[in-house]
Amino acid sequence: MALLQISEPGQAPDPHQRRIAVGIDLGTTHSLVASVRNGVAECLPDDTGHIILPSVVRYLPGQGRQIGHEAVANAALDPENTLASVKRFMGRSLSDIAHPEKLPYKFVKPEGQEAASEKGMLSIQTVQGAKSPVEVSAEILATLRYRAEDTFNDDLHGAVITVPAYFDDAQRQATKDAAQMAGINVLRLINEPTAAAIAYGLDNASEGIYAVFDLGGGTFDISILRLTRGVFEVMATGGDSALGGDDYDHALADAALASMGLADVQAGFSAEDKTRLKAAARAAKEALTAASDVSLVWSDAAQSHEVKVTRSQFNEATSELTARCMSAVKKALRDAKIKADDIQGVVMVGGSTRMPQVQEAVAAFFGKPPLNNLNPDEVVALGAAIQANQLAGNDSAGDLLLLDVIPLSLGIETMGGLVERIIPRNQTIPTAMAQDFTTYQDGQTALALHVLQGERDLVADCRSLARFELRGIPPMAAGAARIRVTFTVDADGLLSVAAKEQISGVEAKIDVKPSYGLSDTQIAQMLQDSFSTAEVDMKARALVEARVDGDRMLLATQSALNADGQLLSSEDRAEIDSLMLALRHTIDTSQEAQAVEDATQALAHATEGFAAERMNHSIQKALSGQNIQSL
């Protein structure tokens, strides 16, 4: 009698064909790894039973290091070498760090740069030398990788790693670099709120519009998603990449110091003092989730301190932080063009959403209690595991479709310092969009392309991402070349730009990999400026476009005069010369688009007769020596 192979629904009969794929939530304060086992997504524990891995690495003299719980236990003893919350520094320059005096680290400038304010991702000095956030994150990811491989006793095929929705190109690339250093094949980077929606959507949610409120240890994301027949479409995203539970800890610590009369001496605290104070504030914060008042006990090098903190005092001390969360929520709803009443449910993600003031603020704003039926610490990793299982080909019956969006518009610089948007913000990714451009001058054989990110109309108001050149364009008259510029954003949110001259086929391409990222204030300011300065931008754009049109008119007229100026009478030539001078003066001095347009139209009207004379002259020249029968 033959044996039959038994397999799980949707999985290959041959167990060796199943690829080990995991979802990793690389968090600011805690990280997790999850996988689909026996058809169910579950988080994987370590050999001591811990599911959550603190995102902390302690570097020891020599080559040793401690990762996770062991590092946390010794943080107060060796704060300078115990690196925590490094996710906040991913893709960041030194100038992006707010209140570095509150952190127990010694930040160092990027190698080869002379000043701390210069761009380039920062590093932190340890006993093993300078360590970048990418290296520290790689240690954490490698630990999770080993945990997964030990669980399955097999090599890891790949992982879906989650990132905050507001991570820009630099931060996403830094995350992929960290995974590569850890020996992990990245199947995809997906946004943390979207991963949570996957977990909720498959098991709990019905079709409709949902808000995913993700407040972690160091980042806050808000995403508005539409769920329709298994399709997750991100309608809008927002948030603050430097707002999270850590900030609530600092606010509570500051309030406690103020009540003890120690606020003025905080700058003189040692690294050990700062670490103990932060740990005490976090413990008090977590206790206040269930209790109405707690004692915050903390000791510095000189003495011990104890102060009673009530929940109402904690709420007051952190009210500004909660207001920042809700302000980002309002912006996301405006971007999605919906109201709070249109939201069917609010999914809460991240351990910091357990704070009562956050729960109350969300419930009051949306008019309904938020969804809490999944563990907010684990939900992101679970959703990532479901996505990883499908991308690895283990769930052939899966019908989940994931559609993310980009946070800021992408485009290129055109003549006059204008930005031509190729991909608008909140465009679903992965995507590829293209526009055709042409040359500005006769005989132009090269084209410089400047890639930009932002919502404003002028180059000076947007962020430069990359520059490259397209060379080898055949010499042609201005406007004859056809150059197609294609922007491609992959599923990880990373950008590549290609330019191809359609006639000759010459092509150039660049993968945009900036070495540092936008700060949260820069992102928020870009979006705010795009609304508050809309009228100014429209006028500035109109003026630039008018000047470009005027310049083109001057170039075309001068070219015609050089070729056939002898066809004009002296009076007509003098009039055209005078109008050309007037147009040049208007372009150079006027700040009104209408004035430039009027001067351009005056020259165009004056040269209409000249254009007709040139056409007649060309026809007569072509017909010279011909007869009707020979044509």
pLDDT tens digits, one per residue of 29-58? 889 999 998 888 899 998 888 999 999 999
Which residues, 6+ apart, have CB-to-CB distance to 302 below 8 Å? Answer: none
Which residues, 6+ apart, have CB-to-CB distance to 386 below 8 Å? Answer: 23, 36, 41, 198, 199, 202, 400
pLDDT tens digits, one per residue of 578-592? 888 888 888 888 888
Position 523 scores a pLDDT of: 46
* 565 and 526 co-located in one domain: no
Position 168 scores a pLDDT of: 72
Which helix (H) or strand (E) is 149 found in, with range?
A: helix 133-152
Position 451 scores a pLDDT of: 85
Tell me how far apart the alpha carbons of residues 386 and 384 are, in angstroms, rounded to a whole number. Answer: 5
Taking Cα atoms as reference points, which of 241, 318, 261 lies closest to residue 285? 318
Q: Which residue has the higher pLDDT, 615 or 492?
A: 615
Residue 121 gets which letter from DSSP?
B
* 568 and 516 co-located in one domain: no
Pairs from 565-571 (Cβ < 8 Å, separation ≥ 24): 567/610, 567/613, 567/614, 567/617, 568/610, 568/613
Tell me how far apart the alpha carbons of residues 84 and 139 are, in angstroms, rounded to a whole number. Answer: 12
* 289 and 434 co-located in one domain: no
Beta bridge partners of 161: 24, 189
In this structure, what are the phi and psi dihedrals at residue 220, rounded to the nearest 5 degrees?
A: -125, 130
Q: Is residue 7 part of a domain?
A: no
Residue 150 designated active-site: no
Q: How far is CA 445 from the centre of its chain?
A: 35
* 313 and 345 co-located in one domain: no
Question: What does the pLDDT average to over 136-153?
Answer: 91
Share of the chain above pLDDT 70, in %: 82
Catalytic residue chosen out of the listed positions 25, 139, 247, 457: 25
Q: Which of 532, 563, 579 is the last residue of a domain?
A: 532
Q: Examine the pLDDT at 112 and tell me if it is beyond 60.
A: no
In this structure, what are the phi and psi dihedrals at residue 401, rounded to the nearest 5 degrees?
A: -120, 130
* 588 and 482 co-located in one domain: no
* 297 and 164 co-located in one domain: no
Unique residue bearing structure tokens 């809490």: 372
Which helix (H) or strand (E) is 574 found in, with range?
A: helix 570-589
**What CATH number does residue 495 fall under?**
2.60.34.10
Q: Examine the pLDDT at 413 and tell me if it is beyond 70.
A: yes
Tell me how far apart the alpha carbons of residues 554 and 99 are, in angstroms, rounded to a whole number. Answer: 54
Catalytic residue chosen out of the listed positions 192, 273, 378, 395: 192
**Strand 483-489 versus strand 65-67 pairing type:** unpaired
- The sign of the dihedral angle between the CA atoms of 300, 302, 303, 307 is negative
pLDDT tens digits, one per residue of 57-98? 999 888 788 999 999 888 878 888 899 888 888 877 777 676
- Two tokens at 9? 């629904």
* 62 and 193 co-located in one domain: yes
Tell me how far apart the alpha carbons of residues 23 and 494 are, in angstroms, rounded to a whole number. Answer: 20
Residue 192 designated active-site: yes
Q: Which of 512, 532, 552 is the last residue of a domain?
A: 532
Q: Which domain holds residue 416?
A: 406-532
Catalytic residue chosen out of the listed positions 78, 139, 214, 335: 214
Q: Is residue 198 part of a domain?
A: yes
Position 587 scores a pLDDT of: 86
Q: Examine the pLDDT at 526 and tell me if it is beyond 60.
A: no
pLDDT tens digits, one per residue of 236-258? 888 887 788 889 998 998 888 88
CA distances (Å), origin 117, targets 94, 295, 479 = 6, 40, 43
Tell me how far apart the alpha carbons of residues 164 and 254 are, in angstroms, rounded to a whole number. Answer: 27
Question: What does the pLDDT average to over 173-198?
Answer: 86
3-state secondary structure of 522: helix
Pairs from 441-445 (Cβ < 8 Å, separation ≥ 24): 441/478, 441/555, 442/475, 442/476, 442/477, 442/478, 442/559, 443/475, 443/476, 444/473, 444/475, 444/476, 444/478, 444/481, 445/471, 445/472, 445/473, 445/474, 445/475
pLDDT tens digits, one per residue of 427-475? 777 788 888 888 777 888 888 888 888 777 787 777 777 788 888 888 8
Tell me how far apart the alpha carbons of residues 270 and 275 are, in angstroms, rounded to a whole number. Answer: 9
Q: Examine the pLDDT at 114 and tell me if it is beyond 60.
A: no
Share of the chain above pLDDT 90, in %: 17
In this structure, what are the phi and psi dihedrals at residue 434, rounded to the nearest 5 degrees?
A: -140, 155
Tell me how far apart the alpha carbons of residues 573 and 579 are, in angstroms, rounded to a whole number. Answer: 10
Question: What does the pLDDT average to over 377-403?
Answer: 77
Position 518 scores a pLDDT of: 44
Lowest pLDDT segment from 151-165, 176-190, 475-489: 475-489
pLDDT tens digits, one per residue of 552-587? 888 888 888 888 888 888 888 888 888 888 888 888
Position 471 scores a pLDDT of: 84
* 165 and 235 co-located in one domain: yes
In this structure, what are the phi and psi dihedrals at residue 441, rounded to the nearest 5 degrees?
A: -125, 155
Position 342 scores a pLDDT of: 92
Q: Using pLDDT thresholds of 50, 70 and 90, give the confidence band for residue 330.
A: very high
Tell me how far apart the alpha carbons of residues 126 and 83 are, in angstroms, rounded to a whole number. Answer: 9
Taking Cα atoms as reference points, which of 238, 215, 192, 452 lies closest to residue 331? 238
* 312 and 292 co-located in one domain: yes
Contact 259, 217 (CB under 8 A): no
**Domain total in the chain:** 4
Beta bridge partners of 507: 500
Catalytic residue chosen out of the listed positions 46, 78, 80, 87: 87
Position 32 scores a pLDDT of: 94
Tell me how far apart the alpha carbons of residues 103 and 106 are, in angstroms, rounded to a whole number. Answer: 8
* 473 and 546 co-located in one domain: no
Q: Is residue 4 part of a domain?
A: no
Q: Examine the pLDDT at 118 and tell me if it is beyond 50.
A: no
Tell me how far apart the alpha carbons of residues 216 and 221 are, in angstroms, rounded to a whole number. Answer: 9
* 267 and 414 co-located in one domain: no
Q: Which of 366, 387, 403 is the last residue of a domain?
A: 403
Question: What does the pLDDT average to over 183-211?
Answer: 79
Query: From the CB of residue 440, how many other CB atoms can be counted at a distance below 10 Å?
Result: 16
Q: Is residue 229 part of a domain?
A: yes
- Max Cα–Cα distance, the chain, nearest Å: 113
Q: Examine the pLDDT at 205 and tell me if it is beyond 90.
A: no
Taking Cα atoms as reference points, which of 548, 541, 558 lies closest to residue 610? 558
**What CATH number does residue 281 fall under?**
3.90.640.10
Burial 461-499 (b: 16+ CB within 10 A, else e): bbbebbebebeebeebebeebebebbbbbebbbbbbbbb
Residue 44 gets which letter from DSSP?
P
Lowest pLDDT segment from 162-171, 304-313, 394-403, 436-445: 394-403
What's the start-to-end Cα distance of the chain, in Å?
92
Q: Is residue 8 part of a domain?
A: no
Which helix (H) or strand (E) is 523 found in, with range?
A: helix 520-532
Q: How far is CA 79 from the centre of its chain?
A: 30
CA distances (Å), origin 501, targets 335, 471, 486 = 36, 10, 12
Question: What does the pLDDT average to over 156-164?
Answer: 91
* 365 and 416 co-located in one domain: no
Tell me how far apart the alpha carbons of residues 412 and 484 are, in angstroms, rounded to a whole number. Answer: 12
Q: Examine the pLDDT at 16 and tell me if it is beyond 50.
A: no
Position 113 scores a pLDDT of: 46
Q: Examine the pLDDT at 381 and tell me if it is beyond 50.
A: yes
Contact 74, 42 (CB under 8 A): no
Position 10 scores a pLDDT of: 45
Contact 587, 550 (CB under 8 A): yes
Q: In what order do the strands lie in the sheet with 56-59?
A: 65-67, 56-59, 82-84
Question: What does the pLDDT average to over 383-389?
Answer: 91
Tell me how far apart the alpha carbons of residues 43 and 57 are, in angstroms, rounded to a whole number. Answer: 21
Query: From the CB of residue 186, how many other CB atoms can be counted at a distance below 10 Å?
Result: 18
Residue 25 designated active-site: yes
Position 404 scores a pLDDT of: 62
Contact 86, 55 (CB under 8 A): yes
Q: Using pLDDT thresholds of 50, 70 and 90, give the confidence band for residue 229.
A: low
Q: Is residue 482 part of a domain?
A: yes
Residue 57 gets which letter from DSSP?
E
Tell me how far apart the alpha carbons of residues 328 and 308 are, in angstroms, rounded to a whole number. Answer: 32
Q: Is residue 11 part of a domain?
A: no
Q: Is residue 195 part of a domain?
A: yes
User: ∠ at Cα 137 (133, 138), nearest 5°?
Assistant: 115
- Two tokens at 478? 């201005």
Beta bridge partners of 45: none
Question: What does the pLDDT average to over 146-158?
Answer: 89
